[in-house]
Amino acid sequence: MSVQCETTAKKASGAAMGFFERYLTAWVFLCILVGIALGHNFNDAFQWVGKLEVAHVNLPVAVLVWLMIIPMLLKIDLRALKGVTRYWRGVGVTLFVNWAVKPFSMAALAWLFIGGLFQPWLPAEQIDSYIAGLIILAAAPCTAMVFVWSQLSEGEPHFTLSQVALNDVIMIFAFAPIVGLLLGLSAITVPWDTLLLSVFVYIVVPLAIATLWRRWLLGQPNGHVHLQRTLDRMHPVSLVSLLAVLVLLFGFQGEQIIQQPVIIALLAVPILIQVFFNSGLAYLLNRAVRSPHCVAAPSALIGASNFFELAVATAIALFGFNSGAALATVVGVLIEVPVMLVAVGIINRTRPWYERRGGVTPHEQCCPSDSH
């Protein structure tokens, strides 16, 4: 891997959790309150915004999602794909959990809890939509927050960067077929034209823009300085855009939440189970194949967290602001940080147990502290 890729990996994985990310749950609760209040008092304005769409893609949401996603993708150096084979065991485990287990386990949990056990407490007309939202949420592996989780668990930065780059490329081709398959198995009508358009608008275009922008920035003198300044400037834009989308969403969903606040708690159950199931599975599989702990940790956390910005945008495009699918994806945003911090704590505390397996290289040898 080149020196430039190494520098990028260290910077991407070494950023500590900021004030906004640490209190993301509180910000989401604030968006719930603000969105409900605005939606109640300015309902006509929200309905007008909801109608600003082309080919089922809401234009204000598309712009806000681009402002959310592009700064995140700007951190990703696709040349890191050259280093994928260096940690092939960890990469193999992560790909297996991300694409062969996670979407299908979430679908099974959604069918069990939302379509079965919790059905009496949920509005009947939204059951299929809630299931669809949970499936969409699980079909997109996390891109941005992974670097924070990797840093908190002392993960290997080069592995984290190469794995995220690989997932971003796979997402272009796998996201729509997996979502379409699982929605079809759930007897939910799949609007394929809108689904494929969402992949193009929310994955292909932002990734292309970010890659070209990154290349242009690095091509200037002191390119890494320009890149870091751009990331610093765009970070608050990305956060404000996320909050704006949430306010819009809760403006449409407010009345339903007020009438049945238990819905959020019920939707959180399958999300919580899948986070701990998938992270635990990836962690144990990495131990079975003797990956170093500094690879197993980010592998497990990548396998557990979600690209919720993409999920929210796709759910809105497919089913609308008022849908249960959109609400289900936002519940993922609501619980992401506290649940993932618990997972990080478990992984860090179990490192001695993990490294007692024969053939596992100790952390100090494979990932010395100066690599971060």
Q: Are 315 and 136 in contact (CB under 8 A)?
A: yes
> Token pair for residue 104?
């299908």
Give the pLDDT score at 8: 39
**Tally of CA atoms within 13 A in the half-sphere of 117 that contains its CB:** 10
More confident call, 198 vs 283: 283
φ, ψ dihedrals at 100, nearest 5°: -105, -15
Q: Is residue 13 a part of any domain in this protein?
A: no
Q: 245 CB contacts (<8 Å, ≥6 apart)?
A: 61, 64, 65, 68, 312, 313
Give the pLDDT score at 21: 64
Identity of the amino acid at 281: L
How far does the chain reach from its first CA to its final CA, in angstroms? 15
Q: Is residue 173 a part of any domain in this protein?
A: yes
Give the pLDDT score at 3: 36
- pLDDT exceeds 80 at position 252: no
> Token pair for residue 205?
């275009």
Q: Is residue 140 a part of any domain in this protein?
A: yes
pLDDT tens digits, 203-238? 788 888 988 999 999 998 988 898 989 988 888 888
Supply the DSSP string of 172-227, one letter for each residue: HHHHHHHHHHHHHHTT----HHHHHHHHIIIIIHHHHHHHHHHHHHHTSTTHHHHH
Q: What is the CATH number of the domain that holds 212?
A: 1.20.1530.20
Number of domains in the chain: 1
Strand partners, 144: none
pLDDT tens digits, 164-197? 878 888 888 888 899 888 988 776 776 777 777 7
The domain in which residue 317 lies consists of: 54-350
Mean pLDDT in the chain? 81
Q: What confidence tier does 11 reach under pLDDT thresholds 50, 70, 90?
A: very low
Q: Is residue 34 a part of any domain in this protein?
A: no
Which of 138, 78, 86 minimizes the C-alpha distance to 109?
138
Q: Is residue 186 a part of any domain in this protein?
A: yes
Give the pLDDT score at 68: 81
Q: Are 283 and 263 in contact (CB under 8 A)?
A: no
Q: Is residue 256 a part of any domain in this protein?
A: yes
pLDDT tens digits, 95-149? 999 999 999 999 999 999 999 999 999 888 889 999 999 999 999 887 667 777 8
Give the pLDDT score at 18: 65
Q: Is residue 366 a part of any domain in this protein?
A: no
Model pTM score = 0.77
Q: Is residue 322 a part of any domain in this protein?
A: yes
**Tally of CA atoms within 13 A in the half-sphere of 322 that contains its CB:** 10
pLDDT tens digits, 68-105? 878 877 877 777 677 667 888 989 999 999 999 999 99
Q: 16 CB contacts (<8 Å, ≥6 apart)?
A: 148, 151
Q: Percent of the chain beyond pLDDT 70? A: 86
